[in-house]
Amino acid sequence: MKRRSFLRYMGIGAIGAAGAGCTGASLFNHSGTERPNILFIFSDDHSLQTLGAYKARMQNFIKKHNITPNIDKLAEEGMLFENSFVCNSICGPSRAAILTGKHSHINGFMENGNRFDSSQWTAPKELQKGGYQTAVIGKWHLGTRPTGFDHYDVLPGQGAYYNPDFITKGRDKKIRKQGYCTDIIGDMTTEWLDKKWDKSKPFFLCSWHKAPHRTWMPHPRHFELLDGLEIPEPENLFDDYEGRTKAAKMQEMTIKDHINIASDLKVTPPVAKTLVSRIRQKAPKSKSMDPATFGEFNRMNDEQKKAWDSYYVPRNEEFRSQNLSGKELVRWKYQQYLKDYIKCIKALDENVGKVLDYLKAKGLEKNTMVIYSSDQGFYNGEHGWYDKRWIYEESLRNPLIIKWPGSVRPGSRCSEMVQNIDYAPTLLHAAGMKVPQEVQGRSLMRLLKNKTPNDWRESILYTYYGKDAHAVVSHWGVRTERYKLIEFFPLGEWEFYDLKKDPLEMQSEYNNPDYQNVIAALKKEMERLFAQYKLNPAPRRKKYSG
């Protein structure tokens, strides 16, 4: 029996036949013989919920208030992947998977804080070798300087929203640029194309944004963007984590108890006068931020500080006067965090538009493949959370949109399961280059042509190797179109979900006798994926079993 039909034969494949395949995506005959330019626009922590193009929880709100018109237009002009997933939902590991086309345990970057082995094979190196001029601008976050790029201007670590520093190829010292990080990255992207691109070569250009990563510091032009509006709440904002393993209760990423009221919500908590006096000897004064969290505020100029305080101080005074508690306090935190998050996305979208307008104005649009994605999804209050890391849907799924005029029909949508290890082979395939056998992902080119291979995957493997951050327990799991099986191996506990009946993942059915045949088949599938991707689970299971 073919691999593609096995899972459906076992009853664990597609939710319904209508959900399979790619629609409206028949390939145009590309008229030119030139290899395409490739522009890869990448964001950080951009959720499907906050993209108008995706059918997600806040789609109507995002569309009504015109938050992502440029990214949505990109989807209208290209293909949107409805079932795009990451293999490890955290910043550095996601980037490493994209560069190498390999899972975390193979590329060696398993969690933030690791250092990327820059000597290993990467898609940018291969494109560079194959005649592409390569550049990366923006967030890198891999602990070592980029390799395989003719040019780079990257943020150190997470970078800063205001007046960020950049590490530039050929320079030992960081350079501080004045302005707002998202705008600066957009401007540097078009500047590279205008002044540094060798027009005799195709380009592979990565415009990789910090936004909308925590701590969600908007540009002043967007401070008032959502004033007076109420963002829809998720049904499970007040999740009590019953019906699952203890992993969900152990985490430390709730809006209720763990979001930082100072740096995340920009509210100054009561601080002892002696502490304030001691800290302010080394930090500038601000009425809107905790004196202990002046890292970002400290790099603002006077005009920026004035604009910041003029908005946040009155808001904070109103908040204090309300003396909120209980669920009303959680609701206030939810609204404020998410409004700042969405405002950061608005600036991101504007700069996506800036770069796309540049391509069109310069006549580059027709022969440029444009990719938009994010390093993972993000929780916007679902399960009462912010952040990512989990195999649960909101952080497992990430946006992926590809526009390629003359090659992908506008308005296409693909529901096949794709993963971020697929990006590297897709880039090489688009450039007319061979993909090394050791690459674990698969090229998406056939999907872009509406020709789904018979052996296309019906399941994905996910791994997360956490330690202390947000107290999210390490886990791995398998997801099919309908089901999800998770092993929290440090706890020796499992969860299982029927996504058709329980899309919010509120009740594990692992011990439900009605699902035991499905669970057994999924455990076999997980072991098959371990073997396929050369992951030996035994040492980690043994470590925690005593």
Reported confidence tier of residue 545, pLDDT bands at 50, 70, 90:
confident
Distance of alpha carbon 183 from alpha carbon 209, whole angstroms: 10
How many other C-beta atoms are found inside a 10 Å radius of the C-beta of residue 276? Answer: 16
Cα–Cα dist 102/407, whole Å: 27
Distances from the Cα of 143 to the Cα of 93, 110, 155, 208, 536, angstroms:
11, 13, 11, 16, 26
Distance CA 385, CA 341 (A): 14
| Cα 148–Cα 154–Cα 156 angle in degrees, nearest 5 | 120
**Across residues 409-414, what is the average pLDDT?**
96
Residue 34: pLDDT band with limits 50, 70, 90: confident
CB of 472 closer than 8 Å to CB of 389: yes
pLDDT in tens, 490-538: 999 999 999 999 999 999 999 999 999 999 999 999 999 999 999 999 9
Identify the pLDDT of residue 326. Answer: 97
pLDDT at 166 exceeding the cut of 70: yes
- The pLDDT tens digits of the residues spanning 169-197 come to 999 899 999 999 999 999 999 999 999 99
SS3 534: coil
Residue 181 near residue 110 (C-beta atoms within 8 A): no
How many angstroms separate the first and last alpha carbons of the chain?
Answer: 39
Residues making up the chain, counted from first to last = 546
SS3 content of the chain, % helix, strand, coil (to 5): 35, 15, 50
Q: What is each CA distance from 309 to 208, 265, 290, 340, 492, in whole angstroms?
A: 29, 13, 12, 15, 49
**Predicted structure pTM score:** 0.94
Average pLDDT, the chain: 91
Q: ∠ CA 114-115-120 to the nearest 5 degrees?
A: 125
Per cent of the chain over pLDDT 90 is 84
Region of poorest pLDDT, from 26-30, 48-52, 454-458, 488-492:
26-30
The whole-number average pLDDT for the span 152-177 is 96
